Every structure is written in C-alpha cells, then in structure tokens.
Amino acid sequence: MRGKYRAGPILNIFVANQLATQLAAREFERAGLEARWVAILHLIWLHEPVTPTELEELSGMPSTTLRDYVNELVDRGEVRRVANPADGRSQLPASARKGDAPRDNRRGRSCREPQQGRQPKLPHAVAR
C-alpha cells in the first residue's frame, strides 16, 4: 500500500471520466469524427428536425457553440438543413443520412447498437 488513505468516490469518478473521455475520443477519431460532434449528431438524429432552441436545451451547450458545430457538420455533409414546417422560412438541422443512425464507419453498424459479449475493463483505481 502506497499511502494510508484509499481513493474516495470523487477521485474514482474523475479517473473514470478521464479514461472514458480518452477512449471515446480515440474511437471517434478512428470512425472519422471529432468527439465534440458525436452528441450533437445523435441529438439531431433522435429529434430531427429539431430547432436550435430545442437542441440547446437537450445538449446543455450554448447556442453559439451549437451553431458552430452544426455549421461544421453541414460542411462535412453529416447534417443538412431542412425548411421549418412551422414557419416555412427558417431552417432546422436534420441528419444527412436519411433514416440511418450515425454510423461507426469502420464496422458499418449504428453507434447505438451494443457490442455483444464485450464488457469494459475498469482500471484498478475505479473497479470495486
């Protein structure tokens, strides 16, 4: 034992968050996406067409950040803009992949599909 104190739950949560963030970023990069876009892509896919105000409420992100992300995703061809049926003049973000969930391009399956038989291994500091 290195010290006389054990790691508490706050430290375990912090370590788990750091490791999960690194793992997710690496996997998203392999799929050709930046990690910062993944949640927005999924929210758009789940709620499309979605107003910017709804997207802001769903994500908890500031409207300026969302606008920048949506513009980047439109430029990449991941998101398209559709006419707002409520007023016919404004545009709403929608998935550019009609009917498809955002994909893990390396495996050709929906990012929402679970991986059968795979259990994540937690580091010793986090595992109980």
Assigned fold of 35-102: Arc Repressor Mutant, subunit A (1.10.10)
The predicted-structure confidence for 86-99, as pLDDT tens digits, reads as follows 888 889 999 987 65
Query: Which residue matches tokens 């038989």?
Result: 117
- Given a cut of 80, whether residue 79 has pLDDT beyond it is yes
Tokens in use for 37? 């876009």
**Contact (Cβ atoms closer than 8 angstroms) between residue 81 and residue 96:** no
pTM over 0.75: no
pLDDT score, position 128: 37
**What gap in Å lies between CA 28 and CA 38, rounded to an integer?**
8
Higher pLDDT, 25 or 99: 25
**What gap in Å lies between CA 52 and CA 44, rounded to an integer?**
10
**Domain chopping of the chain, boundaries:** 35-102
pLDDT score, position 38: 85
The predicted-structure confidence for 28-43, as pLDDT tens digits, reads as follows 888 888 888 888 998 9
